[in-house]
Homo-oligomer: A and B are copies of this chain.
Amino acid sequence: MKKTVLVFAALIFSILLLFRLGEYSLITGNVTIEIIMAVVAFVFFGIGVVLNKNSLQQKKEIQPQPKVDFNKIEELEITNREYEVLQAVAKGLSNKEIAEKLFLSESTIKTHVSSLLLKLNAKRRTQAVQIAKELHIL
């Protein structure tokens, strides 16, 4: 944060300097208006590139994972509980482990898993996970 402030302060100072230098050079007749404008243009072009690059890179790091498509979940009529179970399945948990995690019986998990397999049109839980990822549900 401190760094950002310092950089911006230096930047603004440099810009003012550039302006003043431009005017001074023009008055004394050392350089033409074209060159001044070209320098200004080039410098600001560079500033635009650099600033934009940094902000975009930040976005890249913050949000690298594709988001979940909740519409698809509704479309497939997957209920809340089923989705919770699906997430647990994707983590590689067994039915028994999922049951313990959600404080349910293993029977209940089996019911939910079977339901999920139907809705995702899968034959096995591994396939269900794969399909779910393709559909951006996970």
Write the residues of chain A forming the contact surface with B, with a CB cutoff of 8 angstroms: 15, 19, 22-23, 26, 33-34, 36-37, 40-49, 51-53, 56, 60, 89-94, 122-131
> Are the CB atoms of A131 and B92 closer together than 8 Å?
yes
Interface residues of A, dominant DSSP: helix
Inter-chain contacts of A22 with B (CB < 8 A) = 33, 37
Inter-chain contacts of A15 with B (CB < 8 A) = 41
In the docked arrangement, what's the CA distance between A23 and B12, Å?
A: 25
User: What are 29 pairs between A and B in contact, CB < 8 Å?
Assistant: A19-B34, A23-B33, A33-B33, A36-B37, A37-B40, A40-B40, A40-B41, A40-B44, A41-B41, A41-B44, A42-B44, A45-B48, A48-B49, A48-B52, A52-B52, A52-B53, A60-B60, A89-B126, A90-B130, A91-B127, A91-B130, A92-B124, A92-B126, A92-B127, A92-B128, A92-B129, A93-B126, A125-B126, A126-B129
Q: How many copies does the complex hold?
A: 2
Min distance, Cβ A50 to any Cβ of chain B, angstroms: 8
Known pairs A19-B37, A90-B126, A129-B129; list 7 more (Cβ under 8 Å): A23-B34, A40-B40, A41-B43, A42-B44, A48-B48, A92-B126, A92-B127
The chain B residue sitting closest to A23, CB to CB, is B33
The chain B residue sitting closest to A57, CB to CB, is B56
